[in-house]
Amino acid sequence: MSNIISYKKSFLLFLSILFLGLPITQSHVGSPGVVFEGTAGPYSILVSVNPPDVIPGIAEISIYASDPDITNIQVKPIYWGVGDEGSPKSDPMNPVPGVPGQFEGIVWFMSSGTASIAVYVDGEKGSGEAVVPIMASATAQKEMDASLGWTLAGLGIFLVILMVTIISSSVGLGIVEPGQEGENLKRKKLIGGIVATAFMVLILYGGKSWWDSESASYKRWMYRPPLANTWIEQENGSRIMTFQVDSLSIKNRNRLPMKYMVPDHGKLMHMFIIKEGTLDVFAHLHPKRVDPLTFKVELPEVPEGRYYVFGDIVRRNGYTETISDTLDIPALIAEEPITQDSTWYDPDDTYIVSTAVDQEADDNLPSDILICGKPGVETPLLDGSTAVFEYQPNQSFIAGKVYPLTFAINDPEGNPAELEPYMGMMGHAVVFRKEGGVYVHLHPVGNYSMASQQIIEDRIAEDTPNPVIGQEADVFYDSVNQVVTQLALLSEAERTDILMQGMEHTGLGEHEEHGATVTFPYAFPQEGDYRIWIQMKRNGKVLNSSFDAKVVL
Amino acid sequence: MASTIALEQPLAHESTLRQPAIAFERTPTYVYASVFASLSIIIGLIWDISWHTSIGRDGLLSPPHLAIYLGAVIAGVFSGFKVLKISFWGTGEEKSASVRFWGIFYGSLGTMFCIWGAFAMLTSAPFDDWWHNTYGLDVQILSPPHTVLALGIMSIQLGAVVSTLSQQNSLVGASKVQKLLFIIASGLLLVTLFTLSSEYLGRHDMHHSLFYQVAAGVFPVYLVAVARASKLKWAATWTAIVYSLMLGSMVWILPLFPAEPLLGPIRNHISTYQAFEFPLLLIAPCLFIDLVLNKFGHINKWALAAMLSVTFTLLLLAVQWPFGTFLMSEGARNWFFGTESWYFGSSPDWQYRFDFMPWRLHSGLDLVKGIAIACVVGLFSARVGLVWGKWMTKVQR
């Protein structure tokens, strides 16, 4: 095993430690806001970023820092593409009047790609900095609201009428000496008016065509999430899912090739499947790569039905994406429980079946079905421990406001449970909106990708505006495959040790202490009914739980 | 102003009663205002371009924007006031010397152009804001909302030209001030025409026939019209001189001020404003436009247009091609020519920063064909310019 470790160490120098020593990546659908909770030097800060939905555009930033020693906070955008060398000077954040410890400001993002917001904090205790990764991309397709539309239409009609008047006057009265108005002036004016109207119609037609073409061009370059084709094959009684990225959906999007995917916490892809409609089945899987576009995974004993499938990936330049599809999963054919020892099984795969949305807890529930919890209600878990979503019962959350989503776990005796890291983190959470449109993967440090963060931090440390990719795609692809394979051969304890190593420098917040409470800072993006799945580890087993939350405007 | 007749002076002669325009012999304030508005706008426009290549980030009320808005407000307010004043408090003479429109309003063509321009610029502001929020901040000079703004700007500048024209045409011999105002107004509009076409008229384009085709399309129509309309003998040349001084002074003055990029990515670290373009050598072809018009102005208009087009295109080629070579050389990398100016987002060590890109070079038959096309484009441009110029000589109100 020492060979593997030394191989890995040398390879880390080659590849940089960040690809392995980090937790699962942030990715999202319909949840553009980025929340960061961590430290900048000696100061604890919480940063909430509302990225621009068009590029170039403005990101709105709020920073919460309760330390009274802080005297100044500055921010600036840094792109992976040009590094710190190609970034502007930082701008001060403005204290919010009447709200001690809260600062606000904006940052311009001029082009698409992997970017970040660097936060610089100064105070009595010294200075510190933090980096919040931002995936800058145009995502909005906006329409003009009616009031502006009518105002512009009114002004436009006025301008057309006035211009027709000017042109007809230019060939009529405007060129007649005072007192010399002749008989055919009216005719001239009329002809001038007709020609001018035709001219203005042509101008308007040309303008509209131009506008349409600009709009089409914008849509062509808008970010579109990558898609996949997914299917199931039965092999020796197991259901093997193939997840194949649709190559057309990743074409011409300024993306690095898929061969430049990097492992995130030792896994190339983190996949979540959620049962459509009832949301009563949830699984966190780790498909294996067959070729740059194709991944395979053995499904656990989830019931048949239609599922949402989300695959989160990171590339060499720190760009994170979620690849999505829907899939009809057939029933298991095997009469015996699946063995989960096929090539496509990963020991970190896990799933739960909980009560369906809107279904009340029922005493007759099968023992392997979990009750979905609500805020403030102690909810039993399958191993006898309990979980509490620490809010008032029936509390609603306000969309757009950052909440510390806190969950406490008690062991079967009612004492605070001793939690262990699960894939390098004290907890993982997935938030999904029942009505659809929102999927996000959270950690106690926020909903950004720590892999991406580390990539950008390393990039910032480079003194050149020109990034170095490092290797040819094929070499890179093979190297990554080898590391992932070697990691999978390690024991869980060894693997956890390695994965935790990379976290020493990430400035994890107070919620990373081993203990019974885990907090995920998050702002729900829109109103609706949400389901939250929480994953923590106790006694070597992953504890899954699910909770419902109501979000209002 | 020796020939000025004061408004209150009694008009004794009957023949002058039939020509009330003489009452406007003194240059009205709104004419000065419209020329000043045109100047303010053009300073703001060039400054804004320089701002975007040097600093990048701006707001609605950035100093260059304020200069542009100031021009719009001055042109709109003075012209609007003039129209309202004549419409509701004007004398019979004033009304009879104005254009009546929409039943109740009286104004000169110049004021109408200025009002149109001010409203177009006003319209462009919310349109542009919406555009930025919908498609992102546009970094090109020409987008649909910017075009509405540009049309507004040109309308105000044309209003300034027409205002000075009506003064010139309605008098027996324009005063020096009025001639000067006309030349300044014309030169400022020429700067706008160049600015709007500048994406095709940079130094990197000067060895490609597209440069000459665009120039032959844009300039003769305007310069011929101005030369035809003005009572000055060398009007096109003077217009080109005003254009050169205006654009040149922006090259010489702006880099004296500090500026720092406030948007990433920054590939070119600079500390002062980066200049816009050094003026094209339009003076040379303009001299010949004046010459041709002065000497052959009476011949068949199509023949005249052909002569003007060929003269303009070939002379521009003769001066601008070698000047393009010079602008790429070290000799031009100084405060006077300003070719060291470079957008902060572009790499300063780009291999073609001071060289022509091979794919933007024309030579041999391609060049001959391209220049021939430019001459044909110029023919129609000059012919329209002759018609436009003729109209300009007729403007009375």
Whether the CB of A154 is below 8 Å from some CB of chain B: the reply is no
Residues of B in contact with A158 (CB under 8 A): 119
Alpha-carbon A243 to chain mean position:
20
Q: How confident is the model at residue A365 (pLDDT cuts 50, 70, 90)?
A: low
Residue of B nearest to A90 (CA): B262
A166:B116 CB<8 A = yes
Residues 6+ away with beta carbon under 8 Å from A106: A58, A59, A60, A61
Q: For residue A52, what are its two tokens?
A: 């621009």
Across the range B178-187, mean pLDDT stands at: 89
Tell me chain B's radius of gyration from C-alpha atoms: 22
Residue B227 predicted with pLDDT over 70: yes
Strand partners, A507: none
Tens digit of pLDDT for each residue in A332-358? 776 555 566 678 888 888 888 888 776
CA distance B324 to B41: 28
Alpha-carbon A205 to chain mean position:
41
Q: How confident is the model at residue B66 (pLDDT cuts 50, 70, 90)?
A: very high
pLDDT, residue A431, reads 93
Maximal CA-CA distance, chain B = 74
- Candidates A130, A224, A226; CA nearest to A448 is A130
Q: For residue B207, what are its two tokens?
A: 């060895």
| Chain A: closest CA distance from residue B75 (Å) | 16
| Chain B: closest CA distance from residue A154 (Å) | 10
Contact yes or no for B240/B333 (Cβ under 8 A): no
Whether the CB of A110 is below 8 Å from some CB of chain B: the reply is yes
Strand partners, A522: A403
ipTM over 0.90? The verdict is: no
| Chain A: closest CA distance from residue B92 (Å) | 11
Whether the CB of A152 is below 8 Å from some CB of chain B: the reply is yes
Residue of B nearest to A110 (CA): B264
Share of chain A above pLDDT 70, in %: 87
Residue of A78, A84, A170, A176 to mutate for B, most B C-beta atoms under 10 A: A170
Q: Tokens 């070697």, residue? A: A486
B264:A56 CB<8 A = no
CA distance A331 to A104: 52
Q: For residue B237, what are its two tokens?
A: 């040349």
B139:A78 CB<8 A = no
Residue A507 predicted with pLDDT over 70: no
- List, in sequence order, the alpha helices (H) in A142-237: 146-170, 185-221
Tens digit of pLDDT for each residue in A206-231? 999 999 998 998 888 888 888 999 99
| Chain A: closest CA distance from residue B20 (Å) | 7
Whether the CB of A50 is below 8 Å from some CB of chain B: the reply is no
Q: How confident is the model at residue A510 (pLDDT cuts 50, 70, 90)?
A: very low
B397:A173 CB<8 A = yes
Q: Which of A86, A163, A207 sits opposite B267 (nearest CB)?
A: A86
Share of chain B above pLDDT 70, in %: 92
Query: Which range among A451-455, A499-503, B18-22, B216-220 shows the weakest confidence by mean pLDDT?
Result: B18-22
Residue of A165, A166, A200 to mutate for B, most B C-beta atoms under 10 A: A166
Tell me chain A's radius of gyration from C-alpha atoms: 28
| Chain B: closest CA distance from residue A112 (Å) | 11
Conformation bin of residue A384: beta by default, left when phi > 0, alpha when psi is -120 to 50: left
Across the range B372-393, mean pLDDT stands at: 94
Residue A179 predicted with pLDDT over 80: no
Across the range A515-530, mean pLDDT stands at: 87
Residues 6+ away with beta carbon under 8 Å from A352: A281, A282, A283, A370, A382, A533, A544, A545, A546
Alpha-carbon A412 to chain mean position:
35
Residue of A nearest to B137 (CA): A56
> At CA A222, angle to CA A217 and CA A228, rounded to 5?
125
A88:B143 CB<8 A = no
A174:B99 CB<8 A = yes
Residue of A nearest to B392 (CA): A175
CA distance A534 to A370: 12
Omega cis (within 30) before A225: no
Contact yes or no for A271/A297 (Cβ under 8 A): yes
Residues of B in contact with A112 (CB under 8 A): none
Identify the burial level of B183 via C-beta atoms within 10 angstroms of its C-beta, where 0-12 means exposed, 13-18 middle and 19 or more buried.
buried
B397:A163 CB<8 A = no
A177:B396 CB<8 A = yes
Contact yes or no for A538/A385 (Cβ under 8 A): yes
Contact yes or no for A33/A440 (Cβ under 8 A): no
Across the range A439-451, mean pLDDT stands at: 86
Residues of B in contact with A78 (CB under 8 A): 264
| Chain A: closest CA distance from residue B215 (Å) | 22
Residue of A nearest to B57 (CA): A108
Tens digit of pLDDT for each residue in A18-64? 333 332 333 578 788 899 988 999 999 999 999 988 888 889 999 99
Share of chain B above pLDDT 90, in %: 61
CA distance B35 to B112: 14
Q: What's the length of chain B?
A: 397
pLDDT, residue A359, reads 65
Quote the mean pLDDT of chain A.
82
Tens digit of pLDDT for each residue in B320-333? 999 999 999 999 99
Residues of B in contact with A136 (CB under 8 A): none
B345:A110 CB<8 A = yes
| Chain B: closest CA distance from residue A168 (Å) | 10
